[in-house]
Structure 1
């Protein structure tokens, strides 16, 4: 099969249609992406593991055999799973996680596991060198990819896969999406009592909003919601943006102006988690990390931040955790009666994250540095609201991405993505990194 050298530049809808019509086989498309991934990964290190052969899958399900990447926090029977931790080096779970099965049921084929921070605990990905190399940003190889779904975001930006899985407990899909110039979508949280698992959801990374919509629909991540013609958009106030890089402020204002021109109403609002919510969130997070299983004798292999979280979380009693979750639940309930339909603000305080920039000898200082870099994403997790990072290009960053964050009412996922598409059409859109590597033709079909 020949004549398709630029397949990686096609949209997800185009690729799925070609698979369904028989213009492509899934094996051919897998081979195309595997060759690209193998070539680029030598310098980018965004994949922790890649398949060594294609899977002869039929074009079934909504995604019809489309290749995707899965974050290394999700167990996969066909590939190693380390959860980003040296403590799990060499681990093969022998089963698929629920989200891995969900992607497979949608017709997707997992090509590889993408790099992540340990248990998804950090907003950057710089693994222990005994486990893996540090991933590089496709736009700037001296910059990091963000985290914790950084490998997934960078793999999509480098066009090594058309779609990638990520998880988002406090921004882990949206932060790396912002740093890598792609769209990162966190769907609404589940109904019911609030728990850590309700705040931590599986998300999607893609080059554009339309690709996200296709994947979200295939996975059942698009609850029905009204589609208003005009929105009331809460824009981060100047006070809330005081610590933000001027180029990010320009991106927020650029997106706000575009929405106002489209007829939406703008009002000023705050956009960071309140201190009481942040404290309760941290307590729930630490308690969750403390309960994660670690192989016997491997505690000393854990990252110092993970060790700190486990120590603090182990001291949280069930009653204390219940109280903190109740406070977070009250915050979720309050958000349902907000005065705006959607909030617009930054994802991060800066558009670029240098490798090593957030590392600190003291893990407490490391957590503080992380909170300073990305203080805007946690509220959507606590409140169960859908949230999406969208690239916005500004004159002072002509070759590197900036991004804005759009967060809607809970359950308004379809409406949120429709508004994100408006921003994308007006001032965003994917721009290809200027660092391609030569790739051979498909050679992995076995």
Structure 2
């Protein structure tokens, strides 16, 4: 096994390189990750289901069969939300659904498995991913490795805390309103939400919440982000729509310098209201860096109704919860048993949404996304802060709340920058470019045109090279 210092000095691609060079056996890599999970998880509570022996046995069988893909033995966690893994319980962060087991892998998981990843368990999520902190009655509180008194973000907070604490260099994450990017920002990591349907979402889902929901990863490096995307991207059989992947691997594309770009810079909320100065400073710093790299950077707000778009998107998303309990009429106590107060409020709301209201909200999304997209007729990319605040103290947006409208208002007050790009389907990445005076990570966000993932990743790589960050706390 590797020492912790050796382990922390490598990203996922680096570890795979050590195996390819014969410097370490793939089983030793997986065993090192297991050791780190056992050492770090009591402190941060990021991993809620483990499958250590199953992963080791699967690895041994592949080695014995002579099946040695590039990422053989590389450790990975799958988020406890929306991602079936054959034989691995999936609770969606809910006490009610603990122990639910599927007999198949999602397409994305099957591609990770085929590439050799050792699936060591599940990372924590709040119940149904409904909040931006990872805390649940089912699994408890996930803590931020940079400051244990603060949350790890949500809803992929388990993935963020696992990677930031050094359990492994990257982990699976999902994003319906910022759930990859917020934990990446709060944990000092790279968090990329690809273009809509670049990654597959079947076979258990067709259209994931009207294209609002996405899957990918949080990671310590851009090359890990790109390499994992090369493994997973591309349509699965029967997909209703997809974004085509480029013919050149993303891992190679990120090393190609982009042309001189026109970049729009936003340092306030998207409606022009101020945010915490340290978060604005992260975007300003990114703008200066990009200007120094030769790009044309101009402060400019997009012209769209961010409140209307965000409200319509989140209510379309919440309406999808009605499918959990098919039928009509009020939900009874038996149906709501074992669910947290905010989940109950969201489910009750979902059952009351009329078809007319739902369709009108999809029309609002269409209208405002087209207005937002017009920004990219003028600019190649947009830079914004990642969040409006530094990492939050625990219980800043608890699932014990019962006022749904107040809960949603507070959610988008704390995180106003991510959800619009779920609605638009555009690629968006957060990069940990800044820190508070206390040393907490602060990120900026880079957004591109729909299907322009390669350009977003290229420029993110430029930033990483020009201004390296410390991806994990000391």
TM-score greater than 0.5 by the shorter chain = yes
1:98 aligns with 2:137: no
Give the match for residue 219 of structure 1: 232
TM-aligned CA distance change 1:136 to 1:216, over 3 Å? same
Query: Contact 1:358–1:366 (CA<8 Å) still a contact in 2?
Result: yes
Give the match for residue 451 of structure 2: 411
Worse overlay, 56-65 or 303-312: 56-65
Query: Contact 2:71–2:116 (CA<8 Å) still a contact in 1?
Result: yes
Give the match for residue 76 of structure 2: 68
Q: Which digits, 9 at most, give the CA deviation of each residue in 1:380-424, with x for residues without a partner?
A: 111110000100124x43522000011111111111011112222
Moved over 6 A (4+): 1-5
Give the match for residue 308 of structure 1: 345
Selected match of 1:116 from 118, 125, 136 = 125
Selected match of 1:86 from 77, 92, 95 = 95
Query: Contact 1:163–1:206 (CA<8 Å) still a contact in 2?
Result: yes
Worse overlay, 373-382 or 306-315: 306-315
1:258 aligns with 2:298: no
Listed as ranges, the matches of 1:268-279 within 5 Å are 268-270=299-301, 274-279=306-311
State the Cα RMSD in Å. 2.7
Q: Note the residue ranges of structure 1 that are not aligned, 5 or more in a row.
A: 435-446
Listed as ranges, the matches of 1:32-181 within 5 Å are 32-53=32-53, 54=56, 55=58, 56=60, 57-58=62-63, 60-73=68-81, 74-128=83-137, 131-181=138-188
TM-aligned CA distance change 1:321 to 1:12, over 3 Å? same
Secondary structure in structure 2 of the residue aligned to 1:390:
strand
Name the CA distance, whole Å, in 2 between partners of 1:363 and 1:344: 33
Secondary structure in structure 1 of the residue aligned to 2:246:
coil
Name the CA distance, whole Å, in 2 between partners of 1:343 and 1:376: 11
Selected match of 1:400 from 423, 440, 446 = 440
1:210 aligns with 2:232: no
Selected match of 2:266 from 233, 236, 246 = 236
Q: Which digits, 9 at most, give the CA deviation of each residue in 1:297-317, with x for residues without a partner?
A: 451221222222222221223
TM-aligned CA distance change 1:304 to 1:159, over 3 Å? same
Secondary structure in structure 1 of the residue aligned to 2:147:
coil
With the length of structure 1 as denominator, give the TM-score of the two structures. 0.89
Give the match for residue 326 of structure 1: 363
TM-aligned CA distance change 1:275 to 1:253, over 3 Å? same
Greater RCO structure (CA 8 Å; 6+ sep): 1
Name the CA distance, whole Å, in 2 between partners of 1:344 and 1:399: 22
Q: Which digits, 9 at most, give the CA deviation of each residue in 1:183-242, with x for residues without a partner?
A: 000000038x98625120102110011211111112126833997411211111557564
1:288 aligns with 2:329: no
